Amino acid sequence: MKKIVVLFSGAGSNLAYLLKHLHGKELELAAAMTNNPEAGGIAHARAYSVPVEVIDHREYSDREVFDVELVRRIEAYAPDLTVLAGFMRILSPVFTKRIKAINLHPSLLPRHRGLHAIEKSWEDEHPEGGVTVHWVDEELDAGEPILQYELEKEGFESFEEYDEAILRIEKEALAEGIRSVLGISG
């Protein structure tokens, strides 16, 4: 069975989806790692008895030193793939040159790289928004896309409705991206 490690920083809703729908069925979630000791996703991983590694980035002198420790911990699990699911850290070449990783981003890249992508997508001139699953490389949100799910903005009466819809399709897109990369038929 293929193994993944998931990195997250917040509530862990994407992590929870992967645990519920893929873990123990289509793949093994070998570990969940976070840079935030208060992250809600910690409880999701523990509920499934998945090892949790908390690596507080504030305890490291710089980005590269943090990434050395992150890489060391990921490599200890020997995953087939590392999945960034709401991991709010810009990764250095220390990470990107050693770890095969994909990221979920809430816009149709190359539009709206970085933070606040859903808001920027809602406000732009395009009739559609969406999400992208892409390879992680040295440049923020610039790796080769694996897949994109589009969402027509017409019909949403508020940003809040649009935001909820994006968050819903994110989970499905991430699962499909993982399946695609690992050659798992879902």
Tokens of 67: 């990434």
- Selected catalytic residue, list 105, 112, 126, 134: 105
The SS3 call for residue 83 is strand
CA-only gyration radius of the chain, Å: 16
Asked if 50 and 4 count as a contact pair (C-beta separation under 8 A), the reply is no
What residues have CB less than 8 Å from 65, skipping those under 6 apart?
Answer: none
Residue 67 amino acid letter: D
Pairing type for strands 101-105 and 81-84 reads parallel
Determine whether 105 is an active site residue. Answer: yes
Active site (catalytic) residues: 105
